[in-house]
Amino acid sequence: MTAHEGNVGNQVVETLRWRDGRLEMIDQRVLPAKFEYLAYNSAVEVAEGIRSMVVRGAPAIGCAAAYGVALEALRLRAATSGEFTAAMNTAFEVLAASRPTAVNLFWALKRMRAVWESVKGDSVGAIADRLLTEAHEVTAEDIRINRAMGAFGAALLPDGARVLTHCNAGALATAGHGTALGVIRSAVEAGKKIAVIADETRPFLQGARLTAWEMVQEKIPVTLITDNMAGYMMSHGEVDAVVVGTDRVAANGDVANKIGTYMVAVLAKRHGIPFYVACPLSTIDVSIPDGTAIPIEERAAEEVTGFRECQWAAPGVSVRNPAFDVTPAELVTGLITEKGVVLQPDREKVAALFGG
């Protein structure tokens, strides 16, 4: 893996990009202090990039996994058909084990496997080319979907709205435009004056480091708060709407998202503030009946006891670090999807999105 400086300026940020036969991803661990791309050549490397949070955010993880599959196939161009099959199966397993909660990872792997199955009789080289084409398509489609969600979501936000968001569901969490921040970007593009309130998002600081950075880059007004200030802001009439992203939505409309989202949803309900979830269909897992069955990632204690090298908690203290929580569907004002807005989501309305 090699690093080189990227260019920000007025340029659109590409979270993932295909360059010279390899995948490059912005290293989100070092933003905003450094803007640099890391290059990836194999499924194992991409899985490590997902696990270590170089790339994060549900749709971006899905795109990275699709490229991971394609990279592996390209790497195996000279292999026999038997070697190719064995190594590809391992690649799928390694990628699937990288992070547990965002269903887009498994959605993308299923899609890539289906493509592989559909061309299994072809030469190894032809299969590899087909898988790369599909990875490009997964990525291009993500941007189209985000723009569609953005248009539906933008219509929900009044001109002058002050919108609170949690974590980073922006361009960095997707192939581009973003889901929750995509709604905000689309509203701004439509001529609305929108001000963003970004929760810092302890412990990994996606709000402070990534959402604030994206908004500052684009000169969209943004105010950073710590997570425990959301109730204060709402009770003082300083929040008009909440828009967040999601990592997995269950069949009944329960929403898993970054830890702290549930707290924000309860507060929004208490204060009569609409709570919207920007949710591509690839993030809905109809095989999961409700939120209690969504696997929740537990991360390292060091993320809670400090940040990077600076550790402030008493050594030896016991720590919990669930990375996501589940907001019950009853607290969700609307799911913003690429097919339209599902108000007060429930099992029937979610099934209807899939023609059920």
Catalytic residues: 247
My answer on whether omega of the bond before 322 falls inside 30° of 0, hence cis, is: no
Q: Which helix (H) or strand (E) holds 38?
A: strand 36-40
Closest approach, Cβ 323 to ligand MRU, in A, equals 5
User: Would you say 91 or 102 has its CB closer to ligand MRU?
Assistant: 102
DSSP codes joined into one string, 299-333: --THHHHEETTEE-SPTT-----B-EEEE-GGG-S
240: number of Cβ within 10 Å: 18
Q: Which two tokens stand for residue 291?
A: 């939120």
The phi and psi torsions of 226 (rounded to 5 degrees) equal -80, 160
DSSP codes joined into one string, 189-227: HTT---EEEEE--TTTTHIIIIIHHHHHHTT--EEEE-G
Closest CA to 201 of 190, 192, 193, 210: 210
Letter for the amino acid at 201?
Answer: T
Closest approach, Cβ 299 to ligand MRU, in A, equals 8
Between 43-51 and 81-96, two packed helices, what is the crossing angle to 10 degrees? 0
Instruction: Give dist(CA 54, CA 331) in Å, integer.
Output: 32
Letter for the amino acid at 185?
Answer: R
Tell how far CA 21 is from the center of its chain. 25
**Interacting residue ranges for ligand MRU, rule: CB under 6 A:** 56-59, 102, 167, 169, 173-174, 179, 206, 245-247, 257-258, 323
Closest approach, Cβ 243 to ligand MRU, in A, equals 11
Q: Which two tokens stand for residue 96?
A: 């699937």
User: Would you say 62 or 274 has its CB closer to ligand MRU?
Assistant: 62
Instruction: Give dist(CA 286, CA 77) in Å, integer.
Output: 36
Q: Which helix (H) or strand (E) holds 110?
A: helix 103-118
Closest approach, Cβ 238 to ligand MRU, in A, equals 22
Instruction: Give dist(CA 80, CA 73) in Å, integer.
Output: 12
Closest approach, Cβ 109 to ligand MRU, in A, equals 17
